Amino acid sequence: MDFASLLGILSGLALIVSAILIGGNADIFVNVPGLMIVIGGTMAATLLTVQFRDVMNAFKGAYIVFTQDKTNPSEMIDTMIKLSKISHRHGLLKLGDVKTDSPVLKRACNLLSEAASEQVIRNTLQNEIDSLMARHFSVQDVFRKMAGYAPAFGMLGTLIGLIQMLSELDNPDTIGPAMAVALLTTFYGSLLSTMVFLPIAGKLKARTLLEVTNLEIIREGSISILTNDHYAHVYEQLSSYLPERERKSIFNQSDKKEAAKKGAKQ
């Protein structure tokens, strides 16, 4: 599981629960009808807004993001450098035998092994990037909508509670507890929005940006390999996707001589 996500969930819940326990009895924060209004209403409104398939894909995507390890751009750059070395030693045809868990990288290797043109490779991989962004946006949009609906249904539950409370004004002893119960739905809606739905949408957006960067590295690296660039040149082109502090020079003296000879021949 992603460490930052685990730390955020545990620390946030711990602080909220601690504040509740310090303030008094935790039982007063449990109200089943309020939970039914907020959770049920939020899910119902979401299903009315988007397709059921999109909702299922959203929860599935959230599970994958929070449980699977991410691939850093530096790791993807290292992979493209290895492919460049394979191409130089054995030719582009050898790239068709490369085994990888990434379907996009495998597709790029197949295109290179088939000696596809630069324009074909660029268009194909750009289509992969565009389709990934569209799929991920629909997933993020589900949680953003839920983040908007939850507080609204929390307020709706509060209004229902206030109406019920005002109908019992002839009994002053019930006003305080009834007011507390009425406000609980607003609490539930705000908690779900700020602690669950918005953070998930933000995490999904961050993972999307990371995956897009990796796909762009695959695209530009594949084009560099196709043009038979030296692997050190491939790195120098792809290193712009990394922060300055993470960049390194992979040129040694032999690399410089080899690259210089290759440039002279060209």
261 vs 168, residue with greater confidence:
168
Q: Are residues 87 and 3 in the same domain?
A: no
Stretch 151-159: mean pLDDT = 92
63 and 133 together in one domain: yes
3 with 111, same domain: the answer is no
- Indicate whether 69 and 185 sit together in one domain: yes
Residue 124 pLDDT = 93
234 and 249 fall within a common domain: yes
Q: Is the pLDDT of residue 257 over 50?
A: no
pLDDT value at position 2?
66
Residue 103: both structure tokens together: 């379907």
pLDDT of residue 22: 83
Residues 73 and 24 in one domain: no
Residues 20 and 51 in one domain: no
Q: What is the mean pLDDT of residues 97-122?
A: 90
Q: How far apart are CA 90 and CA 134, in angstroms?
A: 37
Do 38 and 4 belong to one domain? no
pTM, two decimals, is 0.80
pLDDT interval class at 127 (50, 70, 90) = very high
Q: Same domain, yes or no, for 57 and 9?
A: no
Greatest mean pLDDT range, 45-54, 66-75, 159-168: 45-54
pLDDT of 11 strictly over 50: yes
Residue 205 has pLDDT above 60, yes or no: yes
The domain tally of the chain equals 2
With a cut of 60, say whether residue 47 has pLDDT above it.
yes
- Residue 11's domain spans which residues? 1-30
Alpha carbons 243 and 130: distance in angstroms, whole number:
24
- Do 150 and 186 lie in one domain? The reply is yes
Q: What does each C-alpha distance from 27 to 30, 74, 173, 181 come to in angstroms? A: 6, 49, 19, 11
Candidate from 40-44, 123-127, 180-184, 190-194 with smallest mean pLDDT: 180-184
Helices (H), 167-197: 175-192
Res. 256: pLDDT tops 60: no
Average pLDDT, the chain: 84
Same domain, 159 and 233: yes
Give 13's contacts (C-beta < 8 A, 6+ positions apart).
Answer: 195
Q: Is the pLDDT of residue 253 over 50?
A: no
| Both structure tokens of 145 | 């909508």
Model confidence at 261, pLDDT cuts 50, 70, 90, reads low
- What per-residue confidence (pLDDT) applies to 56? 92
pLDDT for residue 173: 73
Whether 14 and 116 map to the same domain: the answer is: no
Amino acid occupying residue 23: G
Cα–Cα distance between 140 and 208 in angstroms, integer?
10
Once rounded to an integer, what is the mean pLDDT over residues 39-53? 93
Give the confidence band of 39 by pLDDT, cuts at 50, 70, 90. very high
Contacts of 44 (CB under 8 A, 6+ apart): none
Residue 250, pLDDT above cutoff 60? no
